Amino acid sequence: MDNLAHTLAGLVLARTRLGKLVPRASLWLVVGANVPDVDILARLWGGKQAYLEYHRGITHSIVGIALQALLLAAVLHAWHMRGSGALRPRVVLAHWLAVFGAGSASHPLLDACNTYGWRPYLPFDARWIYGDMLFIVDPWLWWLLCGAALLGGPATRRARAWSVALFALASAALAGSARTPDWFWAPWLGAWALLLGLDRLAFPRAHVHATLGMFLTLLAMYLGWMAHASESARTAALAWAARTSEVGSVHKSAACPLPADPTRFEVLLQTADATWALVVRGAEVEPAWRKFDDPRERELLERAWNAPACQGLRSFARFPVGFVSKQDGQTWVQWTDARYAREVSLKSDSAHGQTGTWCSAEVRVDMSPLEPARE
């Protein structure tokens, strides 16, 4: 999920007893909830292929989370106890470990809900696990987490200010997205008016734990609904494919949630010679696009796929699709992942001298029997 969701998850944890275990617990819970994403620094030295290979890697795995929590807890405990320890409130190492363990563990648990996936068993097993419940950016998740953080504890001006800032930021981001559905704005504005109105009315602060529990229950219900809706959309798409002779035998499928709309899913179906995308709302299934593999291009695609330039994408792609194009008399193959990109894009990436989209790999293929050129 996006780092705003992870930050809100840390603030929600701060509303529990974890928020009183150590000094500035809210800050350290937020830090712990975001620290697994330190692996994005791989892009600084290895470009997008290193990013695809290492993001959501060892720092997100069970082993990595445990080691991060232990390291952060040890460092903060030593720092806290330095100097005049007698003047400081006594905090044992176990308290620091509980704070960083809970904060760090919340990160992969949220990440596991979307179509990007999670590799929990690294370094022993690189298998991906996909939740297919949420889009990577989910405004309704933001609202539920913000409600739990805002109303699940004592009212403060700072909390209100951050809530208003979050609403403005989220609304601006969603307004700038062409994929936000038209119907979204009425319930979105109504939900935030309710949330901020309840806060201004001093919503039962004497029962903050019950309020926190209510929002967490709503969050669990939302995740349950999205899991059910995702599987129902996938089932409806498979039923449509079975009735349509043009599709053929489906050997891989997934329902991908669409942003801001919990009622619509894009279902990807992969057969032996094609990749299909269907938009599903309830029982309604509408084909959105399809990409057939040209048998005449199969050798070029395979050679490019096995090139070193595709190493990162090979470890990441769930629905790989390849395109062959010619530019300036040269033959190029672009591989990408149908979850996030479906069109050839050879625009320059000035930061790393690379081309294409964030989840693609481009290979210049030598038409002779030699190996593809290394990029």
The tens digit of pLDDT for each residue in 46-102 reads 888 899 999 999 999 999 999 999 999 999 988 887 754 555 667 788 999 999 999
Average pLDDT over residues 2-27: 92
Tell me the per-residue pLDDT of 170-224, one tens digit each, with 9 for 90 and over.
888 888 777 788 888 899 999 888 888 877 765 555 566 778 888 899 999 999 9
Distance CA 256, CA 307 (A): 29
| Amino acid 294: pLDDT | 83
Above 90 in pLDDT, residue 234?
yes
**By three-state DSSP, how is residue 313 classified?**
helix
Taking CA atoms, 191 is separated from 144, 184, 185, 256, 350, in Å, by 10, 11, 10, 25, 41
Question: What is the separation of C-alpha 301 from the centre of its chain, rounded to a whole number of angstroms?
Answer: 28
How many percent of the chain have pLDDT more than 70? 89
Rg, C-alpha atoms of the chain:
24
Write the DSSP symbol of residue 139.
H
Distance CA 155, CA 60 (A): 33
- Closest Cα partner for 330 from 304, 360, 292? 304
pLDDT band, very low/low/confident/very high, at 374 (cuts 50, 70, 90): very low
Distance CA 361, CA 305 (A): 9
| Amino acid 347: pLDDT | 43
Tell me the per-residue pLDDT of 130-167, one tens digit each, with 9 for 90 and over.
999 999 989 999 999 998 888 887 767 777 788 888 88
Question: What is the separation of C-alpha 153 from the centre of its chain, rounded to a whole number of angstroms?
Answer: 28
Distance CA 82, CA 62 (A): 31
Distance CA 265, CA 251 (A): 19
Residue 119 corresponds to which tokens in the numbers above?
Answer: 């590799």
**By three-state DSSP, how is residue 278 classified?**
strand
Helix (H) or strand (E) holding 327: strand 320-327
Distance CA 150, CA 195 (A): 9
pLDDT band, very low/low/confident/very high, at 365 (cuts 50, 70, 90): confident
pTM > 0.85: yes or no: yes
Which residue is listed with tokens 């990160």?
Answer: 107
Question: What is the separation of C-alpha 264 from the centre of its chain, rounded to a whole number of angstroms?
Answer: 18
147, HSE (Cβ side, Cα atoms, 13 Å):
24
Give the angle subtended at the CA of 84 by the CAs of 81 and 86, to the nearest 5°: 85
